[in-house]
Amino acid sequence: MEHINWYPGHMKKTRELIQENLKLVDVCVEVLDARIPLSSRNPILAELTAGKTRIIALNKSDLADEEKTNAWAERFRTQGDYALVMNCNAGAGAGQLLKLLQTLRDKKNEGRERQRDLRLMIVGIPNVGKSSLINRMTGKKAAKTGNKPGVTRGKQWISLGEHMMMLDTPGILWPKFEDPKVGLNLAFCGSIKDEIMDLDTLGLELIGVLARDYPDLLAARYKLDGIADTPPENMENIASKRGFILPGKRIDYTRTARTVIDEFREGTIGRISLE
């Protein structure tokens, strides 16, 4: 992971943009991937937004282990932040977020004769669903969406009506992963571009994690007779069951890796939390 160029210039500009505009906002909504709440939480954002009212949106909850997601939400609440379990694609949690924002707006305007807008900033790393949240909140395609990191560029102020304004920002990673597991988790979930990853190795690593933590789901999805002792053996067994065999009876490792990664990201294997 240490050789990956995952902190390009636009992310540096995003950090500067967030710093410049923080004084303009009342609330920061930080969108996390519910499958990896710690790995998808940028320590730079936590530092920059300290002192602001923060709402943690645990998005993609439909892909994560429900019990673990609820435990994470409670943990964030005990740390002093608001926390909501969300699935922005389906709209789950959007009503709760809107109600919370209205409450914060009313609190801001207590005793004021003239209503002032509640200004909020949406922050998060690439590919956690910030744009989907914005589109859900506004009820229209106000922000570009995509299933690859780096779709959103620049700064956008978006009106939510009812004296509420939202600032969208591009996804931002940070300059150094202290724990290599963080880099792997981000890669598994698609927050680092696949083009700069060794796909075969990434698939092998993911199979190892799933065999250890969710063996029943892995075996059921790929109709395995059992979980083997090593990731390479499990990868070969998956390839054999799916018929991913090249001429000369060679295993198609790349196709196998791509399939497992895609099916994990889509939730086809099951509801899985990596943290």
User: pLDDT band at residue 51, thresholds of 50, 70 and 90?
Assistant: confident
Note the pLDDT of residue 173: 56
Of 153, 168, 183, the last residue of a domain is 168
CA distance 69 to 2: 29
Tokens of 69: 């997601």
The reply to whether 37 and 123 lie within a common domain is yes
Q: Is residue 179 part of a domain?
A: no
Distances (CA, A) of 234 to 17, 168, 184, 247: 45, 42, 19, 21
The Cα 158–Cα 62 span in angstroms is 27
State how many domains the chain has: 2
CATH code of 205's domain: 1.10.1580.10
In Å, what is the CA distance from 257 to each residue of 185, 209, 262? 15, 13, 9
Indicate whether 55 and 134 sit together in one domain: yes
The answer on 128 and 16 residing in a single domain is yes
Are 109 and 230 part of one and the same domain?
Answer: no
What is the sign of the dihedral through the CA atoms of 130, 185, 45 and 34? positive
Q: Is residue 275 part of a domain?
A: no
Q: What proportion of the chain, given as a percentage, has pLDDT over 70?
A: 85
Amino acid at 14: T
Q: Tell me if residue 232 falls in helix, strand or coil.
A: helix
Give me the pLDDT at residue 20, please: 78
Judged against a pLDDT cut of 50, whether residue 55 lies above it is answered with: yes
Residues 163 and 203 both lie in one domain? no
Non-local (6+) Cβ contacts of 255 within 8 A are 239, 244
Domain identity same for 89 and 148 = yes
Domain membership of residue 188 (yes or no) is: no
| pLDDT class of 80 with cuts at 50, 70, 90 | very high
236 & 146 share domain: no
pLDDT given at position 149: 47
For the residues 130-144, what does the mean pLDDT come to?
73
- 136 in any annotated domain: yes
Provide the CATH number for the domain around residue 110: 3.40.50.300
pLDDT at res. 6: 47
Based on the domain organization, do 17 and 84 belong to the same domain? yes
Task: Identify whether 187 is part of a domain.
Answer: no
Give the residue with greater pLDDT, 133 vs 46.
Answer: 133
Would 43 be classed as within a structural domain? yes
Please state, in angstroms and rounded to a whole number, the distance separating the CA atoms of residues 16 and 254: 39
Question: Are 59 and 98 part of one and the same domain?
Answer: yes
165 vs 110: CA distance, rounded Å: 18
Do 116 and 220 belong together in one domain? no
User: Which of 13-27, 39-53, 118-132, 194-208 is predicted least confidently?
Assistant: 13-27
273 belongs to a structural domain: no
Higher per-residue confidence, 200 vs 177:
200
Whether 28 and 107 share a structural domain: yes
Q: Which residue has the higher pLDDT, 178 or 17?
A: 17
Q: Judge if 126 and 24 occupy the same domain.
A: yes
Residue type, 260: V
| pLDDT 10s digits, 146-173 | 444 444 445 567 888 888 988 766 555 5
Rounded CA-CA distance 275/268 in Å is 19
Give me the domain span that covers residue 80. 9-168
C-alpha to C-alpha distances, 229 to 136, 208, 234, 243, 269, nearest whole angstrom: 44, 10, 8, 21, 20
In a domain, 121, yes or no: yes
